[in-house]
Copies of this chain bind each other. A is one copy, B any other.
C-alpha cells in the first residue's frame, strides 16, 4: 500500500507512528483500545468484521467527487445514496460540496457494485457485504450488491475526521487509510417501534430510518396497532382509523412514502397488527369483532377496559382476510407480524359462547384457542403471500416452519423455537423503553445464554434480533433520546463478530457516534435541551443541565407502575434527560480506578467533581422553587447534596480520624438516595456507597 510520503503534502497527514493493525474476522477484536497506549480507533459502529489501518489519509475538499461503476450501479438506490453522501459529507465537514458524479477513474470516492439485487423488494438475507480500501489514490468501495454500498457508505462517513494539527497539515478533513472487509453476523437486525401508545409522525419515522441505516440495521418493525390507537388508514374499513386513532394515523400515501424511503436506505418495513389481544382500538369501529359485548373505546388511561378479538366467529376471519389483504398490498415485505402477545384469557373464559366453542373444538383452553386462531391467520397470510411473524406466545407445534418467532420474554423461548425447527428473533434484553444502560443491552447476545446449547443447525435459525421501543412513556419529542445512542450498541451486537465485546471500547466509540448521528438531523440531544429550557422557564438553563447530567430515569417498569395514559403530559425533568448518564458512568469508573489504587491526585479529582455538583445546587434550588413543574425535584436536589457530602467526607476520612457515628449516617444518606422521587434516580449513588464502604 502506498504511503503518504509519495504524495504531495497538501492534506496528507502522516500518523506519528506507523500502526498497521490487522484483525482477523473472528479474532482478537475485543481489544480494549482504551487500555492500549495508542491513539483511539476511528469511531466506527458497528465495528467491522475485518479492519487494517495504514499511515496516511485521503484529503477531502470542495472538489470531492463520486464515481459509480459495475452493473449494480444502475440500481437507483446506489445513485440516491451517492447523492445523499454529498449532502451528509457537506454537513459533516462544512465543505461547500456540489453533487458531482464523475468518471470512476477520477473520483475521490469510487464505488463498484458488482451485481444487482435480483428481487425487489429487499429480502431477508440479501447481500450486505462490502470492502473498503482507502489509500493514496482514492476511497474505493466495492460491494457485491447495492445493499453493500449503502452499508459501506456509512462506514466511509464514520471514518471522516478533522485533520490532526501537525506540521504541514491542511486545515480540514480527511479519510484515514484503511482496508475493511465487512459483512453482518445476523441477517435480521431491527427496531420494533410502537406508534400506538404515542403516535410518531412520518417525519419522526423517517428520521428513525435514517438512524437505523446509519448503524447498519435493516428492519423497521412497525407496531401499528394496539389498545391505544389504530395508526393506518384502511380504505376497506375506514372506520378503523376514524374511530380508532384520535385522528393520528398514517395515510396510505404516508405508508408508501415511508416504505420507499426505507427501501432507498436498505431497510425493510415489517408491519405489525397486534391480534387477538392489544386490539381495543379496532373495536370502537367494529364492536362485533370483540369477545365480550361492547361498546368499546380506545384506551386512553391505564386501567381503561381493553378488548380482545373473538376467534370463534367466522366474521373475524373474513374481516382479517380482507384487511390483511389490503395491508399485504401496501407493505411489500414478505413478512407480516400479527403480534399475538399478552392475551387476557378472562376475556374468553367469561363468555359462555366462547367456552362452548373451546369445548366443541376439543381445545384445551384459551391458549389452545389462540393456537387455533394463529393457525387460521397463518393460512390467510400465506394466501396473501406473507410469512407470519409473532411474539413468543404464538409458538405452537402445528404451525408451518416458515413462521418466525420473536422472543420478548427471554432467550428460552427462542431456544425452544429453534429446537422445534422455527426461526426466531431476540428482543428480550433489547427493550429501550426500560431505560437500561447501553452496556446491559450490549452484553445480550442472541447466541449466548440459553441459545448457546443449540446445535449449529439450530443456531442458524436465530435470524438476529430487534430492539424494541414501546411508547407508553415517550413521545415523538423524546423518541430519539430514548433510541440513541443506545440503539447503536445493539446494532453492533447484531452486525459485528461475536468477539466484539469490549465495553470500554464500545462507550469510547458511542459518544462520537452519538454526535455523528446528529448530522442526520436526529434530535436525541437537541430536543432534550429544549425540554430542559422549557422547564427552566425564564431562568438560565445551564445549572439545570448540570444537575440533570447526573440523573437518570428509574429503570424497568417502575415508572409505569405510577400510572400513565396518552393524555398525561410527559414534560417533567425525568422526560428531559437521557436514559443513561455519561457523567455518572465516568465518575463511577473514576471511583473504581481510585479505590483500586488510592492516591492523592485521584482523591482530589473526585473531590473536585463532587464539589462542582454540590456547588451547582445553589443556582438549581431557586429554579426548582420557582417553576411549578420542577418542585417535585427538590428532594432529588437534597439527595444529591447528601451524596456529595457523604462522598467528600469518605474521601477525607481515608486520611483523617473518622467520627464514630459517621459511617451509619453516610450509609443512610446513600440509602435515602434510592427513594426515586419524581421518577429520577441518582446513578452516582453506587460509587458513593463504594467510597463510604472503603472507609475503615
Q: Show the binding face of A for B, using Cβ within 8 Å.
A: 40, 43, 62, 91-96, 98-99, 161-166, 169-172, 198, 246-248, 475, 477, 512, 515, 518-519, 526, 529-531, 533-535, 537-538, 566-572, 575, 624-632
Contact = CB atoms under 8 A, between A and B. Distances in A.
Given A95-B571, A162-B535, A172-B629, 14 more contacts: A43-B538, A62-B569, A96-B198, A96-B568, A162-B537, A162-B629, A163-B628, A164-B626, A165-B625, A165-B626, A172-B628, A512-B538, A515-B533, A526-B526
Contact of A171 (B515, B570, B575, B628): B628
A534 B569 contact: no
A537 to B, nearest CB: 5
13 contacts: A40-B538, A91-B477, A95-B571, A96-B198, A96-B475, A96-B569, A98-B247, A162-B628, A163-B628, A165-B624, A165-B630, A171-B629, A171-B632
Nearest to A632: B171
A382 to B, nearest CB: 39
B96 A567 contact: yes
Given A537-B161, A628-B164, A569 B530 contact: no
Nearest to A60: B569
B94 A571 contact: yes
Contacts of A172: 569, 628-629
A31 B612 CA distance: 39
Contacts of A630: 165
Contact of A627 (B165, B246, B534): B165
Given A99-B247, A247-B99, A94 B531 contact: yes
Contacts of A162: 534-535, 537, 627-629
Nearest to A39: B538
A245 B514 CA distance: 35
Nearest to A629: B171
A515 B571 CA distance: 17
A45 to B, nearest CB: 14
A94 B569 contact: yes
Nearest to A478: B94
Contacts of A198: 96
A95 B163 CA distance: 45
Contacts of A170: 628
A430 B380 CA distance: 68
A629 B62 CA distance: 15
A351 to B, nearest CB: 33
B627 A96 contact: no
Given A62-B569, A98-B246, A171-B629, A534 B165 contact: no
A657 to B, nearest CB: 34
A664 to B, nearest CB: 35
Nearest to A567: B62
Nearest to A576: B94
A575 B171 CA distance: 15
A423 B569 CA distance: 51
A94 to B, nearest CB: 3
Nearest to A163: B628
A627 B164 contact: yes
Contacts of A43: 538
Nearest to A475: B96
Q: Which 9 pairs across A and B sit closest by C-beta, in order of nearness?
A: A94-B571, A163-B628, A171-B628, A165-B628, A62-B567, A162-B537, A171-B629, A165-B631, A526-B526
Contacts of A95: 569, 571
Contacts of A246: 98
Contacts of A247: 98-99
